Amino acid sequence: MEVAGMTLSCQELVELVTEYLEGSMEPATRARFEQHLLVCDGCGLYLAQMRRTLRATGTLRERDVAPDSLDVLRQAFRSWKLRAARG
Amino acid sequence: MARSRVGGRASIADECAQEAWVVFLESLARWEGRSTLRTFLVGILLNVIRNKVRSEARSVPLSSVGPGSGDDVGPTVDPERFAPEAHAWPGHWVAPPQGWSVDPASARELRETLEETIAALPPAQRDVVTMRDVLGFDADETCNALGLGDTHQRVLLHRGRAKLRRAIESRLGLDPVRRPT
Protein backbone atom coordinates (compact mmCIF):
# COMPACT_ATOMS: atom_id res chain seq x y z
CA MET A 1 0.00 0.00 0.00
CA GLU A 2 1.28 3.48 -0.85
CA VAL A 3 0.75 6.20 1.71
CA ALA A 4 0.68 9.79 0.51
CA GLY A 5 2.86 12.45 2.11
CA MET A 6 6.13 12.35 3.98
CA THR A 7 4.87 11.36 7.38
CA LEU A 8 2.51 8.72 8.59
CA SER A 9 -0.15 9.50 11.15
CA CYS A 10 -0.82 7.02 13.95
CA GLN A 11 -4.22 6.31 12.42
CA GLU A 12 -2.55 5.37 9.12
CA LEU A 13 0.19 3.36 10.81
CA VAL A 14 -2.15 1.02 12.70
CA GLU A 15 -3.72 -0.05 9.40
CA LEU A 16 -0.29 -0.96 8.00
CA VAL A 17 0.86 -3.14 10.89
CA THR A 18 0.03 -6.46 9.21
CA GLU A 19 1.68 -5.42 5.96
CA TYR A 20 4.76 -4.50 8.01
CA LEU A 21 4.78 -7.78 9.96
CA GLU A 22 4.30 -9.77 6.72
CA GLY A 23 7.36 -8.09 5.23
CA SER A 24 5.36 -7.06 2.18
CA MET A 25 5.80 -3.31 2.54
CA GLU A 26 7.42 -1.03 -0.06
CA PRO A 27 10.88 0.03 1.21
CA ALA A 28 9.93 3.73 1.19
CA THR A 29 6.79 3.08 3.24
CA ARG A 30 8.71 0.84 5.61
CA ALA A 31 11.24 3.61 6.21
CA ARG A 32 8.44 6.03 7.14
CA PHE A 33 6.78 3.36 9.28
CA GLU A 34 9.99 2.76 11.23
CA GLN A 35 10.75 6.48 11.55
CA HIS A 36 7.34 6.99 13.09
CA LEU A 37 7.96 4.16 15.57
CA LEU A 38 11.14 5.86 16.76
CA VAL A 39 9.23 8.87 18.03
CA CYS A 40 5.82 7.46 18.95
CA ASP A 41 5.33 5.36 22.09
CA GLY A 42 1.64 4.74 21.35
CA CYS A 43 2.36 3.13 17.99
CA GLY A 44 5.29 1.17 19.42
CA LEU A 45 2.95 -0.24 22.02
CA TYR A 46 0.29 -0.99 19.41
CA LEU A 47 2.78 -2.95 17.30
CA ALA A 48 4.09 -4.81 20.37
CA GLN A 49 0.52 -5.73 21.35
CA MET A 50 -0.22 -7.03 17.84
CA ARG A 51 2.90 -9.21 18.04
CA ARG A 52 1.88 -10.41 21.49
CA THR A 53 -1.66 -11.12 20.28
CA LEU A 54 -0.50 -13.35 17.47
CA ARG A 55 1.98 -15.15 19.72
CA ALA A 56 -0.85 -15.81 22.17
CA THR A 57 -3.06 -17.04 19.33
CA GLY A 58 -0.32 -19.50 18.37
CA THR A 59 -0.38 -21.03 21.85
CA LEU A 60 -3.98 -22.15 21.26
CA ARG A 61 -2.57 -24.88 19.05
CA GLU A 62 -0.41 -26.42 21.72
CA ARG A 63 -3.07 -28.06 23.80
CA ASP A 64 -2.94 -31.82 24.10
CA VAL A 65 -5.70 -34.00 22.77
CA ALA A 66 -7.81 -35.23 25.67
CA PRO A 67 -7.28 -38.97 26.42
CA ASP A 68 -11.02 -39.64 25.95
CA SER A 69 -11.06 -38.27 22.47
CA LEU A 70 -7.96 -40.28 21.57
CA ASP A 71 -9.94 -43.39 22.51
CA VAL A 72 -12.77 -42.32 20.25
CA LEU A 73 -10.31 -41.71 17.40
CA ARG A 74 -8.74 -45.15 17.90
CA GLN A 75 -12.20 -46.71 17.93
CA ALA A 76 -13.12 -44.90 14.70
CA PHE A 77 -9.90 -46.14 13.11
CA ARG A 78 -10.55 -49.74 14.16
CA SER A 79 -14.07 -49.81 12.76
CA TRP A 80 -12.87 -48.15 9.57
CA LYS A 81 -10.20 -50.84 9.19
CA LEU A 82 -12.80 -53.55 9.74
CA ARG A 83 -15.08 -52.06 7.09
CA ALA A 84 -12.18 -51.63 4.69
CA ALA A 85 -11.15 -55.26 5.20
CA ARG A 86 -14.69 -56.45 4.47
CA GLY A 87 -15.29 -54.15 1.51
CA MET B 1 -6.12 -28.19 17.00
CA ALA B 2 -9.79 -28.02 16.23
CA ARG B 3 -10.52 -26.99 19.77
CA SER B 4 -9.45 -23.39 19.59
CA ARG B 5 -11.56 -22.80 16.53
CA VAL B 6 -14.94 -23.24 18.08
CA GLY B 7 -14.89 -21.11 21.16
CA GLY B 8 -13.12 -23.23 23.71
CA ARG B 9 -15.93 -25.71 24.15
CA ALA B 10 -13.89 -28.86 24.41
CA SER B 11 -16.73 -31.22 23.61
CA ILE B 12 -17.55 -29.48 20.33
CA ALA B 13 -13.87 -29.24 19.38
CA ASP B 14 -13.37 -32.91 20.16
CA GLU B 15 -16.39 -33.72 18.01
CA CYS B 16 -14.79 -31.78 15.16
CA ALA B 17 -11.52 -33.69 15.49
CA GLN B 18 -13.37 -37.01 15.60
CA GLU B 19 -15.57 -36.15 12.66
CA ALA B 20 -12.62 -34.87 10.61
CA TRP B 21 -10.70 -38.06 11.38
CA VAL B 22 -13.58 -40.24 10.22
CA VAL B 23 -14.17 -38.17 7.08
CA PHE B 24 -10.44 -38.28 6.42
CA LEU B 25 -10.29 -42.06 6.68
CA GLU B 26 -13.35 -42.47 4.51
CA SER B 27 -12.14 -40.10 1.82
CA LEU B 28 -8.54 -41.30 1.77
CA ALA B 29 -9.44 -43.65 -1.07
CA ARG B 30 -10.55 -40.65 -3.14
CA TRP B 31 -7.33 -38.75 -2.53
CA GLU B 32 -5.51 -38.68 -5.86
CA GLY B 33 -2.31 -37.04 -4.80
CA ARG B 34 -3.14 -33.79 -6.57
CA SER B 35 -2.74 -31.88 -3.32
CA THR B 36 -0.33 -32.65 -0.52
CA LEU B 37 -1.76 -34.87 2.20
CA ARG B 38 -1.44 -31.92 4.59
CA THR B 39 -3.55 -29.63 2.39
CA PHE B 40 -6.05 -32.44 1.85
CA LEU B 41 -6.46 -33.00 5.60
CA VAL B 42 -6.70 -29.30 6.37
CA GLY B 43 -9.43 -28.95 3.73
CA ILE B 44 -11.45 -31.68 5.44
CA LEU B 45 -10.91 -30.21 8.88
CA LEU B 46 -11.92 -26.72 7.73
CA ASN B 47 -15.14 -28.08 6.22
CA VAL B 48 -16.08 -30.00 9.34
CA ILE B 49 -15.37 -26.98 11.54
CA ARG B 50 -17.33 -24.65 9.25
CA ASN B 51 -20.37 -26.88 9.47
CA LYS B 52 -20.08 -27.12 13.23
CA VAL B 53 -19.56 -23.41 13.69
CA ARG B 54 -22.56 -22.67 11.49
CA SER B 55 -24.79 -24.74 13.73
CA GLU B 56 -23.22 -23.21 16.84
CA ALA B 57 -23.24 -19.63 15.54
CA ARG B 58 -26.38 -18.59 17.35
CA SER B 59 -24.82 -19.28 20.73
CA VAL B 60 -21.78 -17.06 20.08
CA PRO B 61 -22.09 -13.56 21.56
CA LEU B 62 -21.43 -11.32 18.58
CA SER B 63 -21.28 -8.29 20.84
CA SER B 64 -17.85 -9.49 21.93
CA VAL B 65 -16.48 -8.39 18.56
CA GLY B 66 -18.10 -4.97 18.39
CA PRO B 67 -19.68 -2.95 15.63
CA GLY B 68 -18.77 -3.46 11.99
CA SER B 69 -17.61 -7.00 12.58
CA GLY B 70 -19.24 -8.30 9.44
CA ASP B 71 -17.42 -6.20 6.84
CA ASP B 72 -13.99 -5.99 5.38
CA VAL B 73 -13.76 -2.20 5.09
CA GLY B 74 -13.29 0.72 7.46
CA PRO B 75 -10.82 1.37 10.26
CA THR B 76 -9.74 -1.46 12.56
CA VAL B 77 -9.09 0.92 15.45
CA ASP B 78 -11.88 3.15 16.72
CA PRO B 79 -11.50 6.60 15.07
CA GLU B 80 -12.38 8.24 18.38
CA ARG B 81 -8.98 7.21 19.67
CA PHE B 82 -7.27 9.59 17.23
CA ALA B 83 -7.28 13.38 16.94
CA PRO B 84 -9.78 14.71 14.36
CA GLU B 85 -8.92 16.56 11.13
CA ALA B 86 -9.25 19.98 12.77
CA HIS B 87 -6.69 19.11 15.43
CA ALA B 88 -3.06 20.34 15.30
CA TRP B 89 -1.97 16.69 14.97
CA PRO B 90 -4.76 15.02 13.02
CA GLY B 91 -4.71 11.23 13.14
CA HIS B 92 -2.44 11.06 16.19
CA TRP B 93 -3.38 9.11 19.30
CA VAL B 94 -5.57 10.88 21.81
CA ALA B 95 -6.28 7.57 23.56
CA PRO B 96 -3.13 5.50 22.96
CA PRO B 97 -2.94 1.84 23.97
CA GLN B 98 -2.09 1.18 27.62
CA GLY B 99 0.53 -1.39 28.58
CA TRP B 100 -0.71 -4.93 29.20
CA SER B 101 0.26 -6.87 32.24
CA VAL B 102 -1.10 -10.35 31.94
CA ASP B 103 -0.15 -12.49 34.90
CA PRO B 104 -0.03 -16.28 34.60
CA ALA B 105 -3.28 -16.59 36.53
CA SER B 106 -5.15 -14.82 33.78
CA ALA B 107 -3.47 -16.68 30.91
CA ARG B 108 -6.42 -19.06 30.78
CA GLU B 109 -8.83 -16.14 30.56
CA LEU B 110 -6.75 -14.73 27.74
CA ARG B 111 -7.05 -18.00 25.82
CA GLU B 112 -10.79 -18.06 26.37
CA THR B 113 -11.06 -14.50 25.11
CA LEU B 114 -9.07 -15.38 22.00
CA GLU B 115 -11.08 -18.54 21.35
CA GLU B 116 -14.41 -16.75 21.73
CA THR B 117 -13.30 -13.90 19.52
CA ILE B 118 -11.99 -16.21 16.80
CA ALA B 119 -15.26 -18.16 16.84
CA ALA B 120 -17.22 -14.93 16.43
CA LEU B 121 -15.13 -13.52 13.53
CA PRO B 122 -16.73 -13.31 10.08
CA PRO B 123 -16.07 -16.72 8.43
CA ALA B 124 -13.40 -15.58 5.95
CA GLN B 125 -11.42 -13.77 8.67
CA ARG B 126 -11.85 -16.73 10.99
CA ASP B 127 -10.48 -19.16 8.39
CA VAL B 128 -7.44 -17.00 7.66
CA VAL B 129 -6.64 -16.31 11.35
CA THR B 130 -7.05 -20.01 12.14
CA MET B 131 -4.73 -21.11 9.37
CA ARG B 132 -2.11 -18.40 9.86
CA ASP B 133 -2.00 -17.75 13.59
CA VAL B 134 -3.50 -20.83 15.23
CA LEU B 135 -2.24 -23.58 12.93
CA GLY B 136 0.89 -21.74 11.75
CA PHE B 137 0.54 -22.12 7.97
CA ASP B 138 2.32 -19.53 5.84
CA ALA B 139 0.66 -16.99 3.56
CA ASP B 140 1.06 -19.10 0.39
CA GLU B 141 -0.38 -22.23 1.98
CA THR B 142 -3.29 -20.21 3.33
CA CYS B 143 -4.01 -18.58 -0.04
CA ASN B 144 -3.96 -21.98 -1.74
CA ALA B 145 -6.12 -23.76 0.80
CA LEU B 146 -8.75 -21.00 0.91
CA GLY B 147 -8.55 -19.87 -2.71
CA LEU B 148 -7.57 -16.29 -1.84
CA GLY B 149 -5.29 -13.74 -3.48
CA ASP B 150 -2.29 -12.36 -1.54
CA THR B 151 -3.82 -8.98 -0.82
CA HIS B 152 -7.21 -10.31 0.20
CA GLN B 153 -5.58 -12.84 2.53
CA ARG B 154 -3.59 -10.05 4.17
CA VAL B 155 -6.63 -7.80 4.58
CA LEU B 156 -8.59 -10.61 6.24
CA LEU B 157 -5.64 -11.41 8.51
CA HIS B 158 -5.23 -7.75 9.43
CA ARG B 159 -8.88 -7.28 10.35
CA GLY B 160 -9.02 -10.53 12.28
CA ARG B 161 -5.85 -9.79 14.25
CA ALA B 162 -6.97 -6.24 15.04
CA LYS B 163 -10.18 -7.63 16.56
CA LEU B 164 -8.20 -10.11 18.65
CA ARG B 165 -5.95 -7.34 19.97
CA ARG B 166 -8.97 -5.23 20.78
CA ALA B 167 -10.68 -8.17 22.50
CA ILE B 168 -7.68 -8.63 24.80
CA GLU B 169 -7.56 -4.90 25.51
CA SER B 170 -11.25 -4.94 26.32
CA ARG B 171 -10.90 -8.02 28.52
CA LEU B 172 -8.15 -6.26 30.47
CA GLY B 173 -10.47 -3.28 30.94
CA LEU B 174 -8.18 -1.00 28.92
CA ASP B 175 -10.45 -0.06 26.00
CA PRO B 176 -11.03 3.69 26.45
CA VAL B 177 -13.87 4.07 23.95
CA ARG B 178 -15.81 0.85 24.28
CA ARG B 179 -19.39 1.48 25.22
CA PRO B 180 -22.26 -0.96 25.51
CA THR B 181 -23.99 -1.35 22.14
Task: State the distance between the two ends of chain A, measured CA to CA, in whole angstroms.
Answer: 56
Partners of A58 on chain B (C-beta within 8 Å) are 133-134, 136
Q: Which residues contact B16 (CB under 8 A, 6 or more apart)?
A: B2, B3, B5, B6, B45, B48, B49, B52
Partners of B93 in beta bridges: B82
All CATH 1.10.10.10 domain ranges of chain B, comma separated, are 62-181
CATH tag for B62-181 (out of 3.40.720.10, 1.10.10.10, 3.30.465.10, 3.90.230.10): 1.10.10.10
pLDDT in tens, B97-128: 999 987 666 778 888 899 889 988 998 999 89
- Contact at CB, B76 and A14, closer than 8 angstroms: yes
pLDDT in tens, B43-52: 777 777 666 6
The reported pLDDT for the residue numbered B68 is 42
Interface of B with A in 30-59 (CB under 8 A): none
Picking from B92, B118, B161, the nearest residue to A10 by CB comes out as B92
> Between chain A and chain B, how many beta carbons pairs sit less than 8 Å apart?
120
pTM: 0.71
